[in-house]
C-alpha cells in the first residue's frame, strides 16, 4: 500500500520524505488556508519537493469551471492530480479530464455508489473520507471494504485512496482490505512506528548493556 501525506505544510512533507515514508501528497483548500501563504507559490513548491502524485483541488462547482481550473493546476508540475468534488458536474469534468489524459482524484466520497460513479467516469483515484464517516456514528472502514469489493467485482482500475484518516488502526484496516493508498496526516504518521513494548524493550537493553563487561571501553 502506498502512503501519501495529507498536508500542504512543506516542513511536514520534507520530514516525511526524510523518513522515506511518502509516495505522494494530498491537499485540499482547508489545508492550504492553514498555511497562510501564497497558494500558487506553495503548490509549485510542493510539486517540486515530491516525486509522486500531488493532489490539488479545484474550487469551481460547474464542469466548465473545474476543467478550466484543472488546465491551470497541471501547470504546477507533471505530477499534479486534479482533485474534483463528488458532484454530478464533477463527474462530467472527470470524464473530460480523463479524455485529456489528466489524472483525477474524486474527493468527498461518503457512499459506495458515489465511488462507483467516480470509477465509471474514469477517475484515477477515489477518496472515501473514513474519519468523517466515523464522526457521524457510521463505519468509515466498512465503506472502504464495500468500495474495494465493488471495484474488484468489475475490475475497475480506479484506485482506492483512504482519506480523513484519524488513527494508525485506520491504516491497518485499509491495508488488510487491500486499499491502494492511505493519505495520512503528519500527526498520525509520527505514531506509526510507536509501540510501548518497543520503548520498554529498548530501555531494558540499554540498561543491561551498561552492566555488560567490557561495554563502553
Ligand atoms: C483527503 O484528501 C482530504 O484532504 C483529507 O483526508 C480530509 O481529512 P479531514 O476529514 O481530517 O479534514
Tens digit of pLDDT at every position of the chain (217 positions) = 999 999 999 999 999 999 999 999 999 999 999 999 999 999 999 999 999 999 999 999 999 999 999 999 999 999 999 999 999 999 999 999 999 999 999 999 999 999 999 999 999 999 999 999 999 999 999 999 999 999 999 999 999 999 999 999 999 999 999 999 999 999 999 999 999 999 999 999 999 999 998 886 6
Cβ–ligand 1 distance for 7 under 6 Å, the answer no
Strand partners, 83: 57, 105
Residue listed under C-alpha cell 511518502 = 22
Cβ–ligand 1 distance for 105 under 6 Å, the answer no
CA distance 197 to 151: 38
Distance 163 CA to ligand 1 centre (A): 5
The torsion defined by the Cα of 61, 5, 95 and 174, in degrees rounded to 10, comes to: -110
The confidence score (pLDDT) of residue 215 equals: 84
Nearest to 97 by CA among 64, 129, 127: 64
SS (HEC) of 115-161: HHHHHHHCCCEEEEEHHHHHHCCCCHHHHHHHHHHHHHHHCCCCEEE
CB–CB of 144/162 below 8 Å? Answer: yes
Judged by DSSP in three states, 108 sits in strand
For the chain, which domains are there? 2-192 (3.20.20.70)
pTM: predicted TM-score of the whole model, two decimal places: 0.95
The confidence score (pLDDT) of residue 60 equals: 97
Distance 217 CA to ligand 1 centre (A): 52
Nearest to 187 by CA among 157, 166, 173, 202: 166
The confidence score (pLDDT) of residue 214 equals: 86
The confidence score (pLDDT) of residue 217 equals: 62
The confidence score (pLDDT) of residue 149 equals: 98
Q: Indicate which atom in ligand 1 lies nearest the CA of residue 30.
A: 12
CA-proximal residue: ligand 1, atom 11 (nearest): 164
Distance 164 CA to ligand 1 centre (A): 4
Cβ–ligand 1 distance for 57 under 6 Å, the answer no
CA distance 40 to 133: 31
Where in the sequence numbering do the catalytic residues fall?
83
Cβ–ligand 1 distance for 164 under 6 Å, the answer yes
Amino acid at each position: 500500500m502506498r502512503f501519501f501525506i495529507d498536508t500542504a505544510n512543506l516542513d511536514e512533507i520534507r520530514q516525511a520524505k526524510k523518513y522515506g515514508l511518502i509516495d505522494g501528497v494530498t491537499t485540499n483548500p482547508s489545508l492550504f488556508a492553514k498555511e497562510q501563504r501564497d497558494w500558487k507559490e506553495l503548490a509549485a513548491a510542493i510539486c517540486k519537493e515530491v516525486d509522486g502524485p500531488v493532489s490539488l483541488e479545484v474550487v469551481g462547482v460547474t464542469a466548465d469551471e473545474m476543467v478550466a481550473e484543472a488546465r491551470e493546476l497541471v501547470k504546477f508540475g507533471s505530477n499534479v492530480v486534479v482533485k474534483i468534488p463528488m458532484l454530478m458536474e464533477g463527474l462530467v469534468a472527470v470524464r473530460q479530464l480523463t479524455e485529456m489524459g489528466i489524472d483525477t482524484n474524486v474527493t468527498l466520497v461518503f457512499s459506495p455508489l458515489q465511488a462507483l460513479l467516480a470509477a465509471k467516469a474514469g477517475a484515477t483515484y477515489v477518496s472515501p473520507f473514513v474519519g468523517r464517516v466515523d464522526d457521524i456514528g457510521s463505519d468509515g472502514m466498512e465503506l472502504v471494504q464495500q468500495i474495494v469489493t465493488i471495484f474488484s467485482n468489475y475490475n475497475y482500475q480506479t484506485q482506492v485512496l483512504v482519506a480523513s484518516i484519524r488513527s494508525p488502526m485506520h491504516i491497518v484496516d485499509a491495508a488488510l482490505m487491500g486499499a491502494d493508498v492511505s493519505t495520512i496526516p503528519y500527526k498520525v504518521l509520527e505514531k506509526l512506528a510507536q509501540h510501548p513494548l518497543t520503548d520498554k524493550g529498548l530501555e531494558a537493553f540499554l540498561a543491561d548493556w551498561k552492566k555488560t563487561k567490557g561495554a563502553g571501553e
